Amino acid sequence: MKKFSLLLLSLLFICPFIVNATDGYFMLGFGTRSKGMGGTGVAYYQNSIIGGNPAGNSFLGTQYSLALDFFLPDRRYNVTGTPSGVDGTMPLATGEVISDTKILFIPSFGANWAINEKSAFGISFYGSGLNTNYPAQTFYDESVDNTGINILQVFANPTYSLKLGEKHSIGASAILAYQQFKAEGLSLFGMLGLSSNPDKLTNNDNDSNFGLGFKLGYMGEIMEGLTIGASYQSRVNASEFTEYAGLFAEGGSFDIPANWTAGLNYAFSDKLRVLFDVQQIYYSKVKSVANPLSKLFEEGHLLGSDEGPGFGWDDMTIFKLGSEFTASESLQLRAGFAHGKQPVKESEVLFNIFAPAVIENHLTLGFTQNIGSNGKSIDFAFVHAFNNSVTGPNPLDPAQNIELSMKQFEFEIAFTF
């Protein structure tokens, strides 16, 4: 446990901001090769080393991979409409506000060791999360300092994989999660009497928790050229953010939702393969993420209470299409596209100013360049998350509308040996 803690802290030290908010706050794909193919890869063992389908590790042999992701998110909101001036309403200052922190980086690491011809043990470390940092502005006719949240998530996945015959395999991973959270500029919710614990609402610096879950996977070639794969990740049950017990429902609870992925990998020839994945993320099962803001107007449902409001997110279903073309013995080219309806409802735009995860479409490109004949390679992926927006009324002054928007560029490079 001591070694695990040191590894987590080392990864945390070199990635102070994690903002890989693509499918809600989940990553588009696991590993550089997967990202280059639209996030596909649950049925392709080459994407298994960093957090992918645990069944694929038994095909990898002994292998190591280190990746660094450069992330350029653009998060903003725009308030329009003249305040109604009606007693009891709380308008926002009109105009567009853009979140700071433009260029961020995210490291990840994977290692796999062949135990024998049929089984392997591996471990991977990677991060995810969501971040906003808005400059000083006016909320409800009051001037406030910088406003925003930072949700940082670091995962360690020790994995065991076993071949069933020559073309099928199963695998299991433990998911050890570390989360860090910070909120700033939300004190007015306490001043307005909307929190069950105003002292544990905002500006309490970084708080952290640990969580535990598991991931199961299967991969197999069911006919010549056609491989299927599936994985299921359990809900990761985490301890509470005690310093934010007056913000998140259930006294600071913030579990990571369960999700599953299923996919196909078809090799049309020795040079071309096409992959298709479907992923389902169950945001609606985590109260601090799923509960609507309307809970706030029900008796006894203040921020931080057992049935307190959250971000009002829906579940997400993401469809991913990818391809890989072997241009030469040393070069593979990749491309992909992913689409998933974003989780934020129009009625939930106020609270999601702090988490505008409204991305729906991704276009990706990538390549692998082999170096020599000893298994070394450089992988590269480019991801463009197209701009998307959601507009809805300000529930504290319906005369106003709030538009949330986000777009992203992502570049990732990895060295595998």
What CATH number is given to the structural domain containing 155? 2.40.160.60
- Domain limits at 92? 2-416
176-216 pLDDT tens trace: 999 999 998 888 788 888 899 999 999 999 999 999 999 99
What number is the average pLDDT over the span 338-343?
A: 95
pLDDT at 134: 86
Other beta carbons within 10 angstroms of residue 88's beta carbon come to 7
pLDDT at 4: 40
Whether the full predicted model's pTM is greater than 0.85, yes or no, is yes
Burial class of residue 102 (count of CB atoms within 10 Å of its CB; 0-12, 13-18, 19+): exposed
Beta bridge partners of 264: 228, 276
The answer to whether 170 touches 164, Cβ cutoff 8 Å, is yes
Residue 222 has pLDDT above 60, yes or no: yes
- Greater confidence (278 vs 149) lies with 278
For 7, 176, 188, the CA distances from 1, given in Å and listed in that order, are 10, 11, 41
pLDDT at 143: 57
- Greater confidence (12 vs 110) lies with 110
CA 208 to chain centre: 17
> Which of 306, 248, 259 has its CA nearest to residue 284?
259
Written as six digits, the tokens of 381 are: 């992926």
Domain count, the chain: 1
pLDDT at 412: 95
| Rounded CA separation 243/107 (Å) | 27
Q: State whether residue 269 is helix, strand or coil.
A: coil
Other beta carbons within 10 angstroms of residue 333's beta carbon come to 15
123-153 pLDDT tens trace: 999 988 778 888 876 555 555 667 888 888 8
Residue 292 has pLDDT above 70, yes or no: yes
Residue 229 has pLDDT above 50, yes or no: yes
pLDDT at 57: 95
The sign of the dihedral angle between the CA atoms of 185, 187, 188, 190 is positive
